[in-house]
Each structure stands twice: as structure tokens, then as C-alpha cells.
Structure 1
Amino acid sequence: MSDAHAIAAVHVSVSRTTYANLLPAETLDQFSVERRAKQWHKTIEMPDSAGIAVFVAEDADNMIVGFGCCSRQRSEVLAAKGFTGEFQSIYVLPLAQGRGIGRTLMAEMARYLSSLAISGGACWTLRDNEVARRFYEALNGEVVGEQAHGPSTAVALIEVAYGWRRLGSLLGE
């Protein structure tokens, strides 16, 4: 059974909370569980050769409270810097934050990327997303890039990339 719908529900809920003061309301209004569920179903069903993996975290009632998705690096700029793995997304419901779920998801993704013979990885986050930045910094991520990104608005958003040259550091090695 696919977890796509539950992952989509977490994705939309956390996005609307996290980005409420960072993205325009019209952008957030476009987030729907149905649309995200279709996207996550496609991602989950991709063949192993695509190098994409999705991990979920469940609570005591087996409800998905967080997820992470990783792959080979999509950014040529970051890959050229040695960050050949990518942490595409990590989302944890606010009620489940502060319990080590994010750390565990990052470790599982790092373990997966390492199994692909990838030694370094990175992720993008909005520069103004202070919660995410503190999380990545607590995991000893270093800022390794910055880019302007304009979704569908006239206002450019600035993203920063956090990187780990050795994925083993996320595994306690």
C-alpha cells in the first residue's frame, strides 16, 4: 500500500505552517493534498534505478508524522562541489518535532545515499526559514551555496544550500 496520501497530508500541513510568513498566500493556496498525493505516488513508484528514496516516520498509532526524500544531486553546481547526493525534502509535523525524528530521517537518507557510493550531500532551504536553518546547523551542515528562486511571483526568494562533505557525520561516524 502506498503512503502517498499520508505523506501528501504531512507535506501540505507542514508547508502551510512553515511557509505562512515566507511565501505569498496565493502560492500556499495552490498546495492541495490531492495534487501532492499524485506527485508522491509517482515518486514512490519510481524504479530503484532512479536513485530516489522516500522514508517515513510514524507515531505510536502508526500514523505518518514525518517524511524525507533523497536522491542523486539535481544541482550541477552542488554536484561540482562534491555534494553528489541530495536531501530533496524533510517534513515533520509540529506536534512531532523535537523528538529526534528529523535527525533519524536525515540519518536514514544519508545511509541510503551512502549505499549508492555517494559520500557528500546537500539540501536547499529558504534563507528566511530560521527553523530549518537551525536544524541543519545543529546537524553540522555548512552553507555551501545560495540562489535566487522566483516561484510564480514577482518577488525572488533566496535559498541557501546546506552541505555535508561526509555523509557519515549524519550517522555518528
Structure 2
Amino acid sequence: MELSIRAATVSDAEAMGRVFVDSFYAGHRGQLPDWLLDTRTYEVSRNGWARTLASPSPGEYVYVAVLDGAIAGVGMVGPAVPWPPDDVARSASLTGECYALYVAPSLQGKGVGGALLRGLAARLAADGVARLVLGVLSVNAPARGFYAAMGGRLLGERDTFDEGVRLDESVYAWDDIRTLLSSAADGSR
């Protein structure tokens, strides 16, 4: 298997939409109301990724994991969203946030997610970001386990809203982004 991590392009949007929707459904069935899941369609996702890639916001990056020539995962990082309980740490160290990390369900557990997260972290580190945070639905035990295994430290919980639905999100942090980057050298995920 040949795995590479690279910046996404607009021509990737259709495949990215499929990976996102398939992963979103597999990961969140039973965790979110069905009507909310149903708002995620291939077309909506493809169009959303295409818009994001055509007009990126400053400091935001979208990457894909490519396995044997096919897109296997998508992720997005950028400036950390405001969260007052973390203000002190953010003022001491430039902090980025992972907004999305999705891997095709059939490829989860095969190192794709870890490689993609490290690729995203490396991109932020190149911009001088020293710290990384991310939020994951608190009810999503497999994803929480993955981030903990990748060395993320649980900071706490915050509210997030999706289509007006309030959800509990657990926030993980890598206080030194280099620890996440070095996990590839020791064979971690």
C-alpha cells in the first residue's frame, strides 16, 4: 500500500465528498438525529469542499490522504476557534485547530488517520503553530480513543452547534505539536 498526504485541490472535491459522507454516517449513526445525518449528501459535501478549496481562508488548509491512487481521507486545519477555558494556553503558544478529520470507513484503523493528522500538524508547524487542539463529539468513543492514542490530552468539553442542534464536544490538545509529529518516528498509529 502506498500512502501519501498532500494539499487538496478542487478536482478532489467529489472524492472528498464521498469519503466525508461515508465516514460521517458510519461514525455518527445513533449519535446524531437521523434528519441531521440526512443533510450530509455527496452533492452537498462535494459543493462545500469545492467552495472551500476555491476560496480558502487565510491560514486554513485542507489535505487529503491518498492510498494507492484513491482519496482515503480528508482533513482541515486552521486558526483555533475561540474557547475561553483555553485562553491562557493560547496566549502563551500559537494554537491551531483541526476542524475535520475523516477516513473512509473501510480504511479506518490502518494508519491513514494518524498519517493525515500528522500531515496537517506539519503544515501548521510550518506556519509557526506550536500547539494543536481539536473537538470531537463526546459520544464518539472510537474517535476519542483514537485522539488519546495519538497523544491528545483531554482539556474539557464545550458546546458546538450543527444545524441548530446543541452537541457536546470533547476538546483534545497537543501542547507541543512536535510530539504529534514525532509519533511517526516511533511507529505510533
Is the shorter-chain TM-score for this pair beyond 0.5, marking a shared fold? yes
Q: Please give the alpha-carbon distance, in whole angstroms, between the structure 2 residues aligned to 1:59 and 1:118.
A: 27
Q: Please give the alpha-carbon distance, in whole angstroms, between the structure 2 residues aligned to 1:44 and 1:80.
A: 32
Alignment of 1:85-96 (within 5 A): 85-96=96-107
Alignment of 1:1-173 (within 5 A): 2-47=11-56, 50-60=58-68, 62-77=69-84, 78=86, 80-82=88-90, 84-152=95-163, 156-172=166-182
The code of the aligned residue for 1:158 comes to D
RMSD: 1.9
The code of the aligned residue for 2:43 comes to E
The code of the aligned residue for 1:58 comes to V
More strand by percentage: 2
Q: Please give the alpha-carbon distance, in whole angstroms, between the structure 1 residues aligned to 2:75 and 2:65.
A: 9
Q: Secondary structure at the match of 2:75?
A: strand
Return 5+ residue gaps in structure 2 as ranges: 1-9, 184-189
Identity of aligned residues (%): 30
Q: Secondary structure at the match of 1:117?
A: coil
Per-residue CA shift, 1:67-99, capped at 9, x if unaligned?
111111122434553262011110011211122
Query: What is the aligned length?
Result: 170
Return 5+ residue gaps in structure 1 as ranges: none
Give me the TM-score of the superposition, normalised by structure 2.
0.83
Per-residue CA shift, 1:81-139, capped at 9, x if unaligned?
32620111100112111221111111111111111111001001011100110000001
Per mean C-alpha deviation after superposition, the further-off stretch among 112-121 and 80-89 is 80-89
Per-residue CA shift, 1:28-62, capped at 9, x if unaligned?
11111111111111222235x611111111222x1
